[in-house]
Each structure stands twice: as structure tokens, then as C-alpha cells.
Amino acid sequence: MKVIVNVKLKNGVLDPQGKAVKHALNSLGFDEVGNVRIGKQIVLDIAGDDKEKIKADTQKMCEELLANPVIEDFEIIL
Amino acid sequence: MKVIVNVKLKNGVLDPQGKAVKHALNSLGFDEVGNVRIGKQIVLDIAGDDKEKIKADTQKMCEELLANPVIEDFEIIL
């Protein structure tokens, strides 16, 4: 089963990478671009088809490795 | 308007970061995890409400800066 995990910085956490991209886009003439936030999208192939179990396991993977709970939020899409 | 751009490596392009995450998850006991691919999710605040124009501008932003057309594909979600 294909599982998508989107990891992004929590609101209020400074995103220097996003700021850099914003300034670059503005300097390329895309003045309409305001705030930019950059996160990770992780696509996992997970064996099995028990959605509840896979969601619970993916939650653990996020808490243990894929996301930093102090500064990041994550979203699991089955 | 909030625009989401998902940038990911093209199929066939080696993903060392994904491989490293896979091995780490397997060593944490998540043996059911097979292939792992890691991409970027960019969230842009863009002024205006003309969806067609914003989509066209975002396409240009991806081609000029946000994605490397040689090894990456991108998806624009309005």
C-alpha cells in the first residue's frame, strides 16, 4: 500500500528556506508571491492492506523518525 | 490564494535519502516498509484570485526555480 506523509514546520517556526525561496521568486519578477513554507513529502510502500494497522504503524514511524515533534507537524494520507 | 507544489524525483532517479530512511525504518523494526521516496512540498501564498493566471505563473516558477526539470517532476494543487 502506498502511504504519503507530509511533514511541515509548525506555524510560528521560522522557515529560512521558505524565506530564501520567496526572495528568489520575487527577484525573478513573481511579485505576487507572499509567504512560502517548505516541507517534506515522504512516499512509503508498505506491505499489507490493513489500513488501521498501517496508519497506526505510520504514526509511530513519524513519531520515532520521520518528523521532529518539537518543530514539525505531520499528516498521513493512505 | 494558497498553492501547493509537490516536487519529487522522477521514476528511475536514485533516491539516496529515501534509501537511508528505508534502512532506518527497517532497523527500527518496521520491516513492512519497502520503497521510500522523499520529495518537497512547497506551500505558497499568492496574491490574486484568477486561478488560470496563478496556475500559469506557478508553472513558470516551477520551471525557473522550484523544480529541476532534468530529474524532478512537479504537481500544482490550487
pLDDT in tens, A23-70: 999 999 999 999 999 999 999 999 999 999 999 999 999 999 999 999
- Interface contact A38, partner B, CB < 8 A: yes
Give me the CATH number covering residue B10.
Answer: 3.30.1280.10
ipTM, 2 dp: 0.91
- For residue A62, what are the domain limits? 2-77
How many structural domains are present in chain A?
1
Q: B14: pLDDT confidence band, cut at 50, 70 and 90?
A: very high
d(CA A52, nearest CA chain B) in Å:
14
Backbone dihedral angles phi then psi of residue A61, each to the nearest 5 degrees? -60, -40
Report the b/e string of A41-65 with b at 16+ CB within 10 A: bbbbebeeeeeeebeebbeebbeee
Q: Are B44 and A36 an interchain contact pair (Cβ–Cβ within 8 Å)? A: yes
